[in-house]
């Protein structure tokens, strides 16, 4: 059963794990991870020497961060992940995700591996060109609350587009409920946003939520395309990052992908486990084809720190694996009065997502226009 | 935009969240969750009264657990989740997954909702009947280490089947790598396990790993079926629980589903966030069609407590939503010497998964037979 004929390329990609615990234990823990994520087999029992030399992860750096944390870098053979995002995630973090005190904080792809991933189709430059909006953040809002009929949501979409909102997405809670069927909602909302654009001469994009049972995702995306939606909202935490990649890579669709963090963000909540927010949102989301990545900003209803949010924005923008930069979309209870601060923090290449606060008084149009003025984009 | 014509059925399902923090804040936090998971809109701004009355989650219980923890029950209209597992997960935990200090610990389906889910096709009774094994735990092991060729894995599978292992699964790290292509591996291993069965007259099932890029899952499952695999290994954390449900519900496949916790288990790691292990593995896994659910047992390489493992086993077995009981599959560094203790702890209706330790000496067959004797199943 000895496979000495194994002859891998020697090309490796790198994962960095932050270990919480005594520095003296870091090396042994790193060795355990290098086995766990590949052969899942005791080192002493490995048959022959080829697997140990070529398949088992290789520890390439051990670096104390502070008294309680040590970063360990492990290099994995590209062949272990093959050409599959699912298997890349599995090697990176499949089993160690179940261990407290281990946090995935870094990923460096190698050329062969990076070549499997197209990443954002539009990204920052592509979306700016499509909307012909330059030099300011983009404005985004959600169609809600759940419970409105398709006609009511379409009316709302129309007024938001008239008000100058660039991206109008379904709330991520709008699926295919009996009180708001997908087909009718998407058809009405797409038509309403187009009607507003025809009146104003300004483009807005409507992005329906196509998160759905596995077999229904392609059909919903096709409906969205057929009625003229400008992009898709997708929750990779509910359906898998690879399902998002599949949509993003579909040249027949060629639609903008806006990623929503539902459930997925649960992997970023722990201080010492899970996946660092900068990598989860800015890295893996982009790798899976998101042109724009919604995340819970500091100062809202969720719990990320400014430093973590800076990491996310940095992860979206940094040169990485040859992928186009994606838009960071800070969200989760953002309000108009914070727009100047948010622009100052995130810069101009971000999409500001404000939901409920746009409805804080009866004049939705006035609040949309105020939102637009706050980012330096006038509305005639 | 007021939708007073909204007329939901009034039927609701119940989620229970364990809140970590001062009891005095529990009610306000519960109200926030009830909004977050449905309308995601400030209560005061909801249009009209129908949405507040019918769509917003309804707090039905607030129950202190100890000085730091309070359980709150929230009932949601069945229509919010519709007929979709993806949307059910979204309503249950989509956005609050991003909040520390909130743990999903309970789910009670209502009749209409439960009717959408078939759950385990085989479950405990069906698999016992298929293998004609009664009154003892089943034995399971994994084909590994990664790096072996399809021929070497098939040879291993043959010897494991001869040794009396009931279920022989791919290691979850075996995907479609260049050194071990899916089609060749699955064909060879299925053939090897069948050959052993023909010799011994005892059935063993081979379960290939069909976790794959979204569009390739159905094709791999069809290959597995065509070559005679007895079931499928699947990692819902990598591809989504609904992709597992899709496989489980496929009447043309009609294959046993064994769920692996890669990545998914990251949602159960935090003490005060994520999803309680009993619900994640024993509940949601079963709802998504798993006949058997692998989880990291206490006393292995991972970190669950005996109490949490008892909850998982209980979750697999308890009458719930009209679903058949599923097999708990304690794993993650189990060893032969612990089999009596594990049988004592988990009872006879469990599947014991032992990987590396079966290879701890050179006589694989002898260790398989020892494993079998330890559960009270002789091998001729």
Chain B contact for A8, CB < 8 A?
Answer: yes
Give the number of A-B residue pairs with CB atoms closer than 8 Å. Answer: 315
pLDDT of residue A271: 85
- For residues B212, B215, B221, B227, the Cα torsion angle rounded to the nearest 10 degrees is -100
Å from B99 to nearest chain A CA?
A: 6
Q: Measured between beta carbons, which residues in chain A are less than 8 angstroms from residue B303? A: 98-100
- Name the DSSP class of A360: S
Whole-model pTM: value is 0.97
CA distance B34 to B54: 12
Chain A contact for B379, CB < 8 A?
Answer: no
- The distance of Cα A60 from the centroid of its chain, to the nearest Å, equals 28
Percent of chain B scoring above 70 in pLDDT:
98
Q: What's the pLDDT tens digit per position in B220-230?
A: 999 999 999 99
Q: What's the pLDDT tens digit per position in B257-302?
A: 999 999 999 999 988 999 999 999 999 999 999 999 999 999 988 8
Question: What residue of A is the nearest CA neighbor of B277?
Answer: A98
Percent of chain B scoring above 90 in pLDDT:
94
Edge-first strand order for the sheet with A205-207 is A205-207, A167-170, A138-143, A351-353
Residue A363: how many CB atoms within 10 A of its CB?
A: 12
Å from A126 to nearest chain B CA?
A: 26
Catalytic, out of B144, B169, B172, B225: B144
Question: What residue of B is the nearest CA neighbor of A236?
Answer: B240
Residue B334: how many CB atoms within 10 A of its CB?
A: 23
Chain A contact for B3, CB < 8 A?
Answer: yes
Q: C-alpha distances in angstroms, A304 versus A172, B40, B157?
A: 20, 19, 47
Chain B contact for A239, CB < 8 A?
Answer: yes
Chain B contact for A332, CB < 8 A?
Answer: yes
Cross-chain residue pair B55–A212, CB shorter than 8 Å: no
Checking if the pLDDT of B380 tops 60, the result is no
Q: What's the pLDDT tens digit per position in B43-87?
A: 999 988 899 999 999 999 999 999 999 999 999 999 999 999 999
pLDDT of residue A380: 47
Q: Average pLDDT for consecutive 10-residue bins of chain A (380 residues)? A: 79 98 97 97 91 97 97 98 97 96 97 96 98 97 97 97 98 97 98 98 97 97 98 97 98 98 94 95 97 96 92 96 97 96 97 96 95 80
Checking if the pLDDT of B1 tops 60, the result is no
CA distance A147 to A179: 7
pLDDT band at B2 (very low <50, low <70, confident <90, very high): low
Cross-chain residue pair A265–B97, CB shorter than 8 Å: yes
Q: C-alpha distances in angstroms, A155 versus A169, A185, A197, A298, B244?
A: 14, 11, 14, 31, 38
Catalytic, out of B169, B172, B225, B260: B260
Catalytic, out of A144, A169, A172, A225: A144
- Cis ω for the linkage preceding B15 (within 30 of 0): no
Q: What's the pLDDT tens digit per position in B107-132?
A: 999 999 999 999 999 999 999 999 99
Residue whose pair of structure tokens reads 């794993």 in the numeric block: B331
Determine contact, residues A346/A299, Cβ cutoff 8 Å. no
CA distance B271 to B18: 11
Burial B227-238 (b: 16+ CB within 10 A, else e): bebbbbbbbbbb
pLDDT band at B29 (very low <50, low <70, confident <90, very high): very high
Chain B contact for A164, CB < 8 A?
Answer: no
Q: What's the pLDDT tens digit per position in B125-165?
A: 999 999 999 999 999 999 999 999 999 999 999 999 999 99
Q: C-alpha distances in angstroms, A325 versus A35, A279, A313, A347?
A: 33, 14, 10, 14
Burial of B130 (0-12, 13-18, 19+ CB in 10 A): middle
Instruction: Enter the ipTM.
Output: 0.96
């Amino acid at each position: 059963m000895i496979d000495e004929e194994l002859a891998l390329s020697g090309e490796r990609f790198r994962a960095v794990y932050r270990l919480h615990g005594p520095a003296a234990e870091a090396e042994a823990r790193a060795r355990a991870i290098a086995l766990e994520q590949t052969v899942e087999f005791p080192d002493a029992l490995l048959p022959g020497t080829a697997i140990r030399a070529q398949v088992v992860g290789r520890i390439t750096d051990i670096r104390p961060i502070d008294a309680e944390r040590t970063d360990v870098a492990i290099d994995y053979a590209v062949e272990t992940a093959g050409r599959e995002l699912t298997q890349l995630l599995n090697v990176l973090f499949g089993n160690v995700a179940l261990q407290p005190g281990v946090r995935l904080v870094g990923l460096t792809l190698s050329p062969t591996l990076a070549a499997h991933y197209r990443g954002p189709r539009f990204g920052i430059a592509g979306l700016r060109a499509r909307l012909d909006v330059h030099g300011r953040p983009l404005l985004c809002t959600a169609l809600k609350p759940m419970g409105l009929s398709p006609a009511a949501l379409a009316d709302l979409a129309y007024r938001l587009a008239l008000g100058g909102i660039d991206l109008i997405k379904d709330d991520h809670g709008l699926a295919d409920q009996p009180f708001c069927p997908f087909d009718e909602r998407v058809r009405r909302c797409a038509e309403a946003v187009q009607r507003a654009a025809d009146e104003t001469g300004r483009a807005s994009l409507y992005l329906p939520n196509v998160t759905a049972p596995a077999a229904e995702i392609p059909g919903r995306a096709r409906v969205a395309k057929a009625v003229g939606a400008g992009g898709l909202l997708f929750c990779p935490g509910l359906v898998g990052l690879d399902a998002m990649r599949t949509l993003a890579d579909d040249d027949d669709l060629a639609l903008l992908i806006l990623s929503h963090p539902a459930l997925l963000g649960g992997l970023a909540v722990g201080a010492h486990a899970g996946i660092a927010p900068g990598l989860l949102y800015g890295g893996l989301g982009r790798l899976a084809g998101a042109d724009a990545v919604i995340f819970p900003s500091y100062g809202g209803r969720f719990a990320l720190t400014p430093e973590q949010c800076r990491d996310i924005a940095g992860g979206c923008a940094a040169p990485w694996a040859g992928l186009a930069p994606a838009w960071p979309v800070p969200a989760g209870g953002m309000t108009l009065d914070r727009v100047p601060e948010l622009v100052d923090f995130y810069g101009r290449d971000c999409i500001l997502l404000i939901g409920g606060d746009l409805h804080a008084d009866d004049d939705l149009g006035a609040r949309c226009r105020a939102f637009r003025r706050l980012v330096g984009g006038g509305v005639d």
